[in-house]
Structures are given as C-alpha cells and as structure tokens.
C-alpha cells in the first residue's frame, strides 16, 4: 500500500511538472480582419451613398491579411506574413498598416518600428508602450491556448480588448501591444472594426537574423509621430482620428 502511494505521488508530481512547461520561443501567425463594410458606413456622413453600395457589391465584407510574430524570452518581432491569394484589396494597397515591422526588446524596454503612412516612411525608436490593462473574468480558447481577457486604451480614448495566455510567458503581442502577463493571442480595436487573432503557433527557435529591422524613414519617437500625424491630418475632418489610430498602432 505504501509503495502504491509513493508511486501515485511521483506520478502526480510529474503531471504537475509537465503542466508547468511554459512556452518561451516560437512563431505565431495572426489573421487580421478588417470589417470593410463597417468602415465604409462611417464614410457615409450624409446618409447612404450609391457609390458605396456599388463598391459593396464588388468586394467582400472582410479584408483578411496575415502577420507573423517571432519571439524568444527577451525579444519579439512582428512583420507581414503570407499573402492571401485572390485578395481584391491588393489593388488598393492591401489596406492600412500592411507593411508594419515592430521589434520589441523586453530586456531593454525598447521598441524599434518601421511604419509607412501613405507616402511617408517613419522609423520609430522609443520605450515600450505602457498600457494600463484591466484583467476581466472572461476566458476563451484561442489556437488551443487558454486565454484571459483584458481591456485597455490607446491614444487615451480608443478602447482595446485583448485575450492573452499565461502559457506563453512572453509579454508581447501584435503591433506595439503587450504588457500583459503572457502573450496576446487576440486583439480587437472596435473603433477600427479590426481584430488580430492567432490561428497557428509553431514552437520553433528563432534565428538571430529574424530580429533585423531596417532603419529606413524619418526617425521619431511615438510622441513625435503622433504630433506629426495630427498636423498632417488636421484638414481631414471626421476621417483624421481613424487615420491617426491606424498609423500609431
């Protein structure tokens, strides 16, 4: 009987130990979905627009694109992933923020990013963005990982919803979002009608060359970029805030 109890204890401890194996390296593929119809509706300031209705008949409701996040315990890099075959939005440039590259150095609390805003290129160097997240009770499974809900804000007023997993202990996520006790597996920005959802996770160790960021474009901090965009879009009226939010992701 004593031998049976000892064996059971060993098996229980082994099971607990196996469960405590956390992921610290890998590659995540995110699908970014933009509700194009909802964005078009926002442009109809004076009621239904016949031109918009004609456009809706020719294009799908959602514009999907893919991005990869490669990470280890101290770094991550987010960049464009595989192309979508037959993407009708490619003729319009593929949508906003399609070429963003964001490198995050968790150990040094630094970010480097390449962003293109229409015909302007920016190279951002700054500290990691600090978002005041509030963790909620909701839990869901994403890409086979148990995820917890958190809410926060960007640009002071823009509501952001994230689902993160504690099984990937790297505090990263798509674009320049992070700061949670685990990896963000789903991100939603309702005012941009956009979600980023992890659909595949590969447990592969990154190479040093994966973390290279081209330093092309005007060198700015996050604050300087925001101020530059405010000046550039000040005559865009109702469309100005959304263009700024897309540009500072």
Does residue 9 lie in a domain region? no
Whether pLDDT at 83 is above 60: yes
Phi, psi of 242 (to 5 degrees): -65, -40
Q: Which residues pair with 173 in a beta bridge?
A: none
Look over the chain and give the mean of its residue pLDDT values, rounded to a whole number.
85
> Residue 54's domain is classified under what CATH number?
2.50.20
Domain count, the chain: 1
DSSP secondary structure string for all residues of 89-154: GGGGTSSTTTT-EEEEETTTTEEEEEEEETTEEEEEEEEPP----EEEEEEEEETTEEEEEEEEEE
Q: What percent of the chain has pLDDT over 90?
A: 63
Reported as a single tens digit per residue, the pLDDT across 21-30 is 588 999 999 9
E strand or H helix at 4: helix 2-19
Is the CB of residue 144 less than 8 Å from the CB of residue 133?
A: no
Q: End-to-end alpha-carbon separation of the chain, Å? A: 61
Structural domain of residue 117, as residue ranges? 21-247
Does residue 5 lie in a domain region? no
Does residue 8 lie in a domain region? no
Is the CB of residue 24 less than 8 Å from the CB of residue 73?
A: yes
- pLDDT, residue 93, reads 55
- pLDDT, residue 14, reads 37
């Amino acid at each position: 009987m004593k031998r049976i109890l000892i064996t059971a204890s060993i098996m229980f401890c082994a099971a607990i130990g196996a469960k405590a194996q956390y992921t610290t390296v890998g590659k995540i593929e995110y699908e970014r979905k933009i509700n194009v119809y909802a964005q078009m509706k926002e442009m109809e300031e004076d009621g239904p627009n016949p031109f918009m209705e004609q456009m809706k008949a020719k294009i799908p409701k959602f514009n999907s694109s893919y991005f990869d996040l490669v990470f280890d315990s101290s770094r991550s890099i987010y960049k464009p992933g595989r192309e979508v075959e037959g993407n009708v939005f490619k003729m319009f440039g593929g949508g906003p923020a399609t070429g963003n590259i964001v490198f995050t150095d968790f150990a040094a609390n630094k970010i480097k990013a390449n962003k293109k805003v229409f015909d302007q290129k920016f190279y951002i160097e700054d500290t990691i963005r600090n978002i005041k997240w509030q963790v909620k009770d909701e839990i869901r499974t994403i890409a086979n990982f148990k995820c917890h809900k958190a809410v926060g804000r960007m640009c002071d007023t823009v509501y952001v919803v994230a689902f993160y997993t504690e099984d990937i202990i790297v505090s990263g996520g798509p674009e320049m979002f992070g700061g949670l006790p685990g990896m963000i597996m789903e991100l939603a920005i309702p005012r941009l009608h956009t979600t980023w959802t992890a659909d595949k996770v590969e447990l592969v160790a990154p190479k040093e060359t994966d973390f290279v960021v081209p330093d092309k474009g005007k060198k700015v901090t996050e604050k300087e970029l925001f101020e530059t965009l405010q000046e550039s879009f000040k005559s865009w009226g109702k469309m100005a805030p959304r263009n700024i939010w897309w540009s500072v992701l």
